[in-house]
Amino acid sequence: MKTFLWVLLAGVVVSTPVFAHHGNAAFDAGKRLELTGTVTEWDWSNPHCWLKFDVKDQSGKVVNWVVETSNAADMVERGWSKRTFKAGDQVTVTLEPVKSGQPVGRVISVLLPNGKTLGLNYVGQ
């Protein structure tokens, strides 16, 4: 019985990092930006998919934004795929930016070149 308890305890200790996940503290909750730009990369991966796109700021300088979505399995359920974007696509991205002001955020929705809008339906949206 003692061996079983030690094995169980070891399993819990080893598996704890699997349940860890980053929090939402970096994001400016409730703030939304709508940016129109050109897709440079669509990274279909786990634990998050990443959309990278270029936007011209007010001075005309090109800024590369990097925004995260959910994991690939969740994205499929919401109508997204690894072929949703290709480099050169013009998109309008509604996102929740990070508090630091860096060109990083979390996707809320994306207006695709064909006029279709895909969203993530985060809590609080």
The mean per-residue pLDDT over the stretch 64-83 comes to 94
Query: Whole-model pTM?
Result: 0.76
Q: Is residue 3 part of a domain?
A: no
CATH number at residue 75: 2.40.50.140
Q: Residue 87 sits in which domain range? A: 23-119
Is the pLDDT score of 62 beyond 80?
yes
Q: Is residue 9 part of a domain?
A: no
Q: Is residue 2 part of a domain?
A: no
Q: Which long-range contacts (CB under 8 A, 24 or more apart) does 99-103 make?
A: 99/26, 99/27, 99/28, 100/26, 103/55, 103/63, 103/64, 103/65, 103/66
Q: Is residue 30 part of a domain?
A: yes
Confidence class of residue 29 from pLDDT cuts 50, 70 and 90?
confident
Q: Is residue 78 part of a domain?
A: yes
Domain count, the chain: 1
Q: Is residue 42 part of a domain?
A: yes
Q: Is residue 36 part of a domain?
A: yes
97-113 pLDDT, tens digit per residue, is: 999 999 999 999 999 99
Q: Is residue 6 part of a domain?
A: no
H or E element in which residue 95 lies? strand 90-97
Residue 30 is predicted with a pLDDT of 85
